[in-house]
Structure 1
Amino acid sequence: MADLKRARIKDVAEQAGVSMMTVSRVLNQDAKVSPKTRDKVMAVVEKMGYRPNVSARRLASGKSFFLGLLYDNPSDAYISQFLLSALHSSRNAGYHLIVEKANDQIDKTITSVKELIEVTQVDGMILLPPLCDNQAIIDVLTHAAIPFVRVAPDTQLALSPYICMDDYQASFELTEMLIKQGHKKIAHIIGDTKQGVSRLRYQGYLDALRSNQIVVPPEYVEQGSFTYQSGMNAGQNLLSLADRPTAIFAANDDMAAAVISIAQVKGLDIPNDVAIVGFDDTQVAKIVWPNISTVRQPIDEMAQMAISILASTKFEKLNDVSVSELRHVLDFQIIERGSSQLISAK
């Protein structure tokens, strides 16, 4: 086992065949270090179990090596997956992640943000939806000159670096998958109205129906809020219709799992009586039965990229970057599982 107490930056430099300055630049995410050198140094760091002296790093760099993450998302599965990945990534980057849940009262949330800035002295902030579009929070960070990265914002896309996926296209393709399986009576449960992705997913669903000349009645669309309970309420309404849908597309996995539970209570066979699909591919999609067909949103990659962007310091001066460089779009994947299948025309 590596001796954590005795491993020094000098030892890492000698083992990697580079200077101590190069090791320091690698640990501080300096973009000018070549990938080959970075990989070589990090391999030695891991092998020797080296951990930099935090106090020394702070004195030398003028940074706190604390990052803040602010969330107010009703989906527990989404938040859990994002936080775990962000915590792991921040540790690998040599940072500590401070996680704060937003308060129902915006004034108290603003106070928490100011404490992160003034007391904890965070080097940067990650804003998850819907807080990524909260103007009051954005104003506080901008005024304090704190770099921030937003995940899935809906407005002011030239304001900061942001990370997203094509929610519209993913929903379009997921709905088309159901259509190709023979479904025409496809219902949708809309997500949280405070999040722009809900509108994009709903629009993708509508456009997929229209492009295939499919018209569904208004009662096939239910308003949810990305929570399990809202999925149960919507599922109860949809599956109680006299002419119930043969497929239901819930805008996230939490709501899809809830619809599955309602269907099972009603004695319906999934997917033969009703197919159910979700969105995100969180852990819940793999633990309910049948497993949920869904869109794999790159949640882990989004968290990793958010940490990487802040650690790189590239976007500390936005005047030096183009608008196109602020946008980071990650790929999605349609995942077919047991909750949907090919059917004959119904």
Structure 2
Amino acid sequence: MRVLVTGADGFIGRALVAELLHASDVAGKKITRLLLVDRQFEKQYSDSRVRIHCGDIGDPRLLRRVLADGVSIVFHLASVPGAAAEKDYSLGYQVNLLGSQEIIEQIRCMEPAVRLVFASSVAVYGDELAGQLHERSFVRPRLSYGCHKHMIELLVDDLGRRGEIDGCAVRLPGVVARPQSRGMGSAFMSDLLVHIAEDRHYICPVSETATAWWLSLKCCVENLVRLAEVDAASLDKHRIIQLPVLHLSIAQVVDALAKRFGEERRSLVTFEPDAHIEKLFGQYPKIRTPWARQLGLAHDGNVHRLVRNALAEHAGELGKPASGATHKHLVKESV
């Protein structure tokens, strides 16, 4: 079986590739070739199954070369992050919208139908969130990034209905802890964790009462692999999927960090709220995800597991499975 990962050298991409290489199979089928696409690669691989392709995902010629011998599963992760896409509309449009359309067009109507797992974002919901949300709640994106993600969600849903791809769009929350979060409005989520873990001062751009949706890298990758394994009949019911998330305030996360690393580290954090950032990324309400849970998807369980899983590298815990994980596949590496 041939598997394609776009954005393969990114934060989530590297961890996903590590899991796929470790697992060696998806849904009981052996991975014979792992095709990796990104604009550039810092990570190198010695595994003979890996083929690296550097270039723009919107380049039709590159994609034709990559897909020449067919593909069974596509994990489409590549994108320009939200704040960067808002600053440079043309770049976001080319990558997040046109690049995604090009990939889908090239796998459309392949036989058998290709399983596509498209990484969408909670940015589709916008900033007018009140009360408790449901995974089927109305969306109104307020960033170009979220608009383009929602457009591709609808395309995936429509082509799935037509039977031309076997796809799903999965809305990712703030996945932590990124070592570098440039270009992301939700960067404070990772930066808070990393700075306290490394005993460094951090100026937080949202208040202690700000709330966000949290998921560790380990749990995120596990869910992505699960979506590649779900039977096609189940996906026919709903192809746009919101991952289960932990709804936590900054204060709750700081409490968990203080418990893990020592009470004295509370003093490392000072708060200088930015009203714009807090409105867009720090006012998320609770959200119910019953359909995602029926598919076997899950969050980290509680804030303490989230912190431990997200900071596994800092705690020297690489290679240990996430306690509380419920799925077949567990991430063995956090990159």
Normalised to the residue count of structure 2, the TM-score between the two structures is 0.36
Structure (1 or 2) with the greater strand fraction:
2
Q: TM-score, normalised by structure 1?
A: 0.35
Kindly name which structure, 1 or 2, has the bigger radius of gyration based on alpha carbons: 1
Higher percent of residues as helix: 1
